[in-house]
């Protein structure tokens, strides 16, 4: 593996981490909204 491939791999790993955190945040938001709706109705 050359330097460009290693850099690209690192970029993809960083992007993957960001997307995983975003997905976790959205899941938490959805869960909180569902909880609020259950209490409201």
Answering whether pTM is above 0.75, one says no
Residue 40, pLDDT score: 74
- Euclidean distance between CA atoms 25 and 15, whole angstroms: 15
The single residue listed with the structure tokens 């491939």 is: 5
Q: What's the whole-number mean pLDDT along residues 11-34?
A: 97
Share of the chain above pLDDT 90, in %: 90
pLDDT at 30 over 90: yes
**What contacts 9, CB < 8 A, 6 or more positions away?**
1
Distance CA 15, CA 21 (A): 10
């Amino acid at each position: 593996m050359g330097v460009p491939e290693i850099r690209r791999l690192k970029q993809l790993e960083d992007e993957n981490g960001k997307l995983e955190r975003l997905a976790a945040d959205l899941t938490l938001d959805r869960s909180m909204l569902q909880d609020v709706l259950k209490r409201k109705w």
